[in-house]
Amino acid sequence: QVQLVESGGGLVQAGGSLRLSCAASVRTFSSYAMGWFRQAPGKEREFVAAIDWSGLGTIHADSVRGRFTISRDNAKNTVYLQMNSLKPEDTAVYYCARRNQRTYYAKSDGYTYWGQGTQVTVSS
């Protein structure tokens, strides 16, 4: 069974930085693409970033490109989301997710396993 556990969320002022981590429980972590999504109160879940199995291929949503960076360490079964220049509109619960494919994908319906989420709150 795949378990994904996010950490690193918290309260930060606008302009600040956070790094989210998502640890996976299975040794096959390195075989699959991973993604980050977020959901703000009253809004639908939206795509943030995704990374392929190797870590060489990434994609970021327009709203975060240039500020957020997804990466992975397959030796540690962990995917990261470095978030810089945070804005109040980045406030949301952030979820990591795993595909059953090697290639990255920017829609939530392409992901099979989901973490419980970590809250990120950006104050103005």
Nearest to 71 by CA among 61, 62, 59: 59
What is d(CA 95, CA 84) in angstroms, rounded to the nearest whole number? 17
Encode pLDDT of 111-121 as tens digits.
Answer: 999 999 999 99
C-alpha pair distances (Å), 104 with each of 6, 17, 34, 62, 122: 19, 25, 7, 16, 28
What pLDDT score was predicted for residue 30? 85
pLDDT at 55 over 90: yes
pLDDT at 89 over 90: yes
pLDDT at 29 over 90: no
pLDDT at 123 over 80: yes
C-alpha pair distances (Å), 47 with each of 7, 13, 25, 26, 75: 18, 23, 23, 24, 25
What is d(CA 74, CA 17) in angstroms, rounded to the nearest whole number? 23
What pLDDT score was predicted for residue 27? 75
